[in-house]
């Protein structure tokens, strides 16, 4: 049995020469969530973040540098920690922090609790890297501001808002 392939027209967003991505499309802020927890528990946090939709997390091992005497005074037995770095869209960070808070509150032993904080990422090199980190599936164009002469319905023949189409076979 043979099936015909459907031909689908796909809109392709193309930037003109000299056009900046952030001036043409809506850009969401990206934040980094840092979670510092007891060694061996970082993988659980990474799984939770992945289930909640975070595009990328990675785990590093850390070791405290405070003198052993201070650890004994504070009742800390192990200075080894897991540090989870999670990069996500600004809108997703509150959900991830709620998940961390629930896990910290549910921990019965004090050594299973940790520290979590987020900070904003100022810049990313490359549009594809940005789209991956912000989990952007579809580009949303910013509303265009009318230029002089377009108010009366006049239109410059060089300016077209139509996007080129590309045929794609499925």
Rounded distance between C-alpha atoms, residue 89 and residue 20, angstroms: 20
- Residue 79, domain CATH: 3.30.70.120
User: What's the pTM value of the predicted model, to 2 decimals?
Assistant: 0.66
**Helices marked H in 107-157:** 127-133
Q: Is residue 80 domain-resident? A: yes
Q: Is 153 exposed, middle or buried (0-12, 13-18, 19+ CB in 10 A)?
A: exposed
Query: Which pLDDT tens digits describe the chain residue by residue (170 residues)?
Result: 455 555 545 454 556 666 777 667 777 888 999 999 989 999 999 999 999 989 889 999 998 777 778 777 776 677 788 999 999 988 999 999 999 999 888 887 777 788 899 999 888 877 777 887 777 766 777 776 665 655 554 545 455 455 555 555 55
* Enclosing domain of residue 81: 28-136
Q: Is residue 101 domain-resident? A: yes
The angle that helices 42-51 and 93-106 make with each other, rounded to 10 degrees, is: 140
Q: Is residue 41 domain-resident? A: yes
Q: Is residue 15 domain-resident? A: no
How many domains does one find in the chain? Answer: 1
């Amino acid at each position: 049995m043979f099936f015909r392939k459907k031909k689908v027209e796909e809109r392709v967003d193309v930037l003109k020469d000299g056009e900046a991505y952030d001036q043409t499309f809506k850009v969401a802020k990206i934040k980094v969530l840092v979670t510092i927890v007891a060694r061996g528990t970082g993988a659980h946090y990474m799984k939770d973040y992945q289930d909640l939709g975070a595009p990328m997390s990675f785990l590093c091992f850390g070791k405290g540098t405070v003198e052993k005497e201070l650890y004994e005074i504070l009742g800390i037995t192990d200075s080894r920690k897991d540090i989870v770095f999670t990069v996500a869209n600004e809108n997703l960070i509150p959900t991830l922090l709620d998940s961390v808070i629930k896990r910290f509150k549910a921990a019965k032993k004090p050594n299973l609790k940790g520290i979590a904080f987020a900070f904003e990422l100022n810049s990313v090199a490359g549009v594809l890297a940005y789209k991956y980190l912000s989990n952007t599936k579809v580009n949303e164009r910013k509303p265009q501001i009318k230029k002089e002469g377009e108010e009366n319905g006049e239109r410059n023949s060089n300016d077209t808002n139509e996007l080129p189409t590309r045929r794609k076979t499925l």
